[in-house]
Amino acid sequence: MQDAVNRAKVAEDLEKATVKRQQVKDAVSEKVLPLEKMLREAEQKASYAHGMCDQFLKDFEEKKGARESQNKMLAENKAVLHDVKPVFLQRQ
């Protein structure tokens, strides 16, 4: 008789533990799933920002080359034209 009572108690405890485990699992899922979504969104934003930085650096290098070319051309023009007076000053 005592054995049957112990088995019933064990079965009852097992059922309670199973229900409790499911409740904990549900509670954790409620917290984890939104966090996973937020993490995915943050990863996407970081990837986008990284891509924008790469594009900025590429554009910067292209513009830097163009500026160097313009500076060189201006320096050459200055060397050629350094003694020439502007037209409006030549009339005087």
Domain that holds residue 8: 2-84
Residues, the chain, total? 92
- CA-based nearest residue to 72, from 64, 60, 83: 64
Examine residue 92 and state whether it is found in any structural domain, yes or no: no
Examine residue 90 and state whether it is found in any structural domain, yes or no: no
Examine residue 45 and state whether it is found in any structural domain, yes or no: yes
Cα distance between the two ends of the chain: 129
| Chain-centre distance for alpha carbon 42 | 6
pLDDT number for residue 53: 95
Examine residue 60 and state whether it is found in any structural domain, yes or no: yes
Residue 92, helix vs strand vs coil: coil
Examine residue 89 and state whether it is found in any structural domain, yes or no: no
- Count how many domains the chain has: 1
Examine residue 91 and state whether it is found in any structural domain, yes or no: no
- CA-based nearest residue to 58, from 50, 47, 68, 70: 50
Residues of the chain with pLDDT under 50: none
Q: What is the pLDDT of residues 23-49, one digit of tens each?
A: 999 888 888 888 999 999 999 999 999
